[in-house]
Amino acid sequence: MPELSRRGLLTLGAAMGFSGVALGAASPAWSWSSSGSIAAVGTGTGTDPQWVWDDEIDGIMKRAIEAGQTRQINDAMRNWVNNNDPIPVDTLPPELGTWFTQHVKLPPWADMNKLKLAADFNRRKDMYMFFIYGIGGGIMSTMIPREARSVYWSKGGADMQDRAAKTFTFGYDLGDLKAMEPQGQFLVTANKTRIVHASVRHLLPQSPYWRAVADETIPISNHDILVTFHSTGTFVHKKLKEWGVRMSAADEEAFLHSWQVALHLLGVRDEFIPATWAAAHAQAAQTLDPIMVSTPEGKDLAEVLLGLTAQIDLGLTRGFLNEFVRYQLGDYVADSLSLKRDYASAALIKTGWPAYIRYREGFLPIMPATFWMFDQLIEGVAMAFLNRFTSPTTTAIEVPDMNRPG
């Protein structure tokens, strides 16, 4: 499969996933209680995460960008990959080096046993996960107005293939067996991502194009990051449950725990991080479902992403893909993106996919006739994902130095 095809597939993954409720872009008032968070009950401040960013690192990156240190930072970070690699304090601007020294570590409440189980769970269910993140999470992101506008008008928006490849590095590292262990990479990847977000908070408000459409003055608040979590991790959990994929209670808890750690490392305050899946789904119902709406930026991104998949060499026709998007995300999203109908594919997916899952999960003794077709598809997606990110050409996460030029 050519590289472009794999990237296209991954891009689609980075951008899709939703069950389709919701109209309108206004974010309802925050009423999710911090008693459902991982912070001790009653310790939440009641603050709305919409007004919470990441003050310390935002200030550090603002000063670094204004001092023209972007290239120095990217050069210093290039070979810093594994959790146990030394932090390049000698070549980074001192205050950033100090900040990394304080932050590249697990939170005190992280439970290594759960994280190991989460990694194992990811390995056991990876084909489903890649498929849901892949066909689901990506398109969903194009229907989240703030995310679509930020992504579109930031530097990376001009090259969606590259951006998606980098975004998938995050998912891959999180799902890696040793993600949080010394030989893993997640602590480094998450912290690099956090400083990229901090840089975007400084740069994007300088874009006249973003300012003309944005409904916020500073992007990527704690609230926005939680919304993205719900379009990825929470969505995966929802679909696995819906499809009857076998998961033990310990698996579910461990998978959530890996995301709790990820959110913490991305700078989300503990008082906003859901403690249970029930609390996460309740938060998603409040923060994600009501805001899904198409925007010119999101439509454009979705077209780019879906167009790229035409190059995927999996025997996947655009009609079949459109219908799988519709199957995962619902009519509202598919109609908003004007996805053309392919009723034959729709009928095949409607009966074939549930049978495929039942057989794979051991609930159906006889192999359904369409098994190999779905199996090839899902394996192709997983392999595309794995090949891309286990190859030495993995794209580095870099601090942007500008916005999309227009």
Binding footprint of ligand HEM on the chain (CB under 6 A) = 146-147, 150-151, 154-156, 163, 166-167, 170, 193, 196-197, 200, 219-220, 224-225, 228-229, 266, 397, 400
CB of 365 to ligand HEM, least distance (A): 40
Nearer to ligand HEM, 21 or 402 (CB): 402
- CA 391, CA 7: separation in Å to the nearest integer? 13
What angle in degrees, to the nearest 10, is found between the helix axes of 160-175 and 3-14? 70
DSSP state at residue 35: G
Identity of residue 315: G
Structure tokens at 261: 């750690």
Nearer to ligand HEM, 83 or 345 (CB): 83
- CA 256, CA 195: separation in Å to the nearest integer? 24
- CA 250, CA 235: separation in Å to the nearest integer? 18
Name the residue whose CB lies closest to ligand HEM: 156
Concatenate the DSSP letters of all residues of 222-276 into one string: HHHHHHHHIIIIIHHHHHHHHTT----HHHHHHHHHHHHHHHHHTT--GGGSBSS
CB of 67 to ligand HEM, least distance (A): 20
Nearer to ligand HEM, 118 or 316 (CB): 118
CB of 170 to ligand HEM, least distance (A): 4
- CA 19, CA 357: separation in Å to the nearest integer? 18
Structure tokens at 9: 């597939």
CB of 8 to ligand HEM, least distance (A): 16
Nearer to ligand HEM, 50 or 370 (CB): 50
| CB neighbours of residue 275 within 10 Å | 18
- CA 178, CA 400: separation in Å to the nearest integer? 28
Nearer to ligand HEM, 55 or 313 (CB): 55
Beta bridge partners of 92: none
Nearer to ligand HEM, 128 or 168 (CB): 168
CB of 151 to ligand HEM, least distance (A): 5
CB of 264 to ligand HEM, least distance (A): 11
| CB neighbours of residue 88 within 10 Å | 17
CB of 358 to ligand HEM, least distance (A): 31
The C-alpha R_g of the chain, in whole angstroms, comes to: 20
Nearer to ligand HEM, 94 or 405 (CB): 405
